[in-house]
Amino acid sequence: MEDPKKIEQNYRQIIELLPENVELVAVSKTHPVEVIRTVYDLGQKVFGENKVQELAEKYPLLPKDISWHLIGHLQRNKVKYIIEFIDTIQSVDSEKLLLEIDRQAKNCNRQVKVLLQVKIAEEESKFGLELHEAKEIFTDWLNGKYPNIEITGLMGMATFTENENQIKKEFNFLKQLYDQLSLKKNLKTLSMGMSGDYQLAIACGANSVRIGSAIFGNRDYIL
């Protein structure tokens, strides 16, 4: 586990560098609740997790004014475990998933915020909607198809590469879609950029970044 002093230093450095209009989602996956509490006590209120079970275990142990974002692939049969408390589901990567979130949200009388995760990376491994799927879903939503959903923006993950031009191209692609959709209905959140590429993402128009290891240190995946 990373030294709390080091985490504090990391966190303060990042906060200082972030432009005011850019939201920080502190990605706390694999890190224990004590460590999350350290960063919470420094003023951070938005945290991201990528696994439902891990999030559902941590949620009751931490302050209730945390806004939890799910950022990892979500299976439809697991939506019910987070629906009551999740602030934003950033990883909507299929229409079926969105329908299930809408259904579960209705059951608990909620409006749930989501981001459409668009596939921008060349890598086969990354989840996400194709461009045309994202556009179709957005239009359907505008036409009232998902009444218990609020689509607040888009999320994307760039290819894992050293090639900055490649990453830039992918971020720019998503920014273009974001601007295009915003003409029909104003979007709030363009979530792109992680520890390794968030400055580039911000330069390309991101107004929300998901930062894990640059705050919490490397993950050892033992938890």
Ligand X SMILES: *Cc1c(COP(=O)(O)O)cnc(C)c1O
Q: Which residues bind ligand X (CB under 6 A)?
A: 27, 29, 50, 71-72, 157, 194-196, 210-214
Confirm if 89 and 117 have CB atoms less than 8 A apart. Answer: no
Which CB atom, from 4 or from 196, has the smaller least distance to ligand X? 196
Q: Which residue's C-beta sits nearest to ligand X?
A: 212
- Strand bridging mode 112-117 / 189-192: unpaired
Q: In whole angstroms, how close is the CB of 24 to ligand X at the nearest point?
A: 11
Question: 152-178: string of b/e by CB count within 10 Å (b at 16+)?
Answer: bbbbbbbbeeeeeeebbebbebbbebb
Q: In whole angstroms, how close is the CB of 142 to ligand X at the nearest point?
A: 26
Q: In whole angstroms, how close is the CB of 51 to ligand X at the nearest point?
A: 9
Which CB atom, from 142 or from 223, has the smaller least distance to ligand X? 223
Q: In whole angstroms, how close is the CB of 106 to ligand X at the nearest point?
A: 27
Which CB atom, from 29 or from 175, has the smaller least distance to ligand X? 29
Which CB atom, from 145 or from 205, has the smaller least distance to ligand X? 205
State how far the alpha carbon of 153 is from the alpha carbons of 13, 107, 129, 138, in Å. Answer: 27, 23, 13, 10
How many alpha carbons fall within 13 Å on the CB side of residue 220?
6
How many alpha carbons fall within 13 Å on the CB side of residue 194?
16
Q: In whole angstroms, how close is the CB of 151 to ligand X at the nearest point?
A: 18
Which CB atom, from 83 or from 211, has the smaller least distance to ligand X? 211
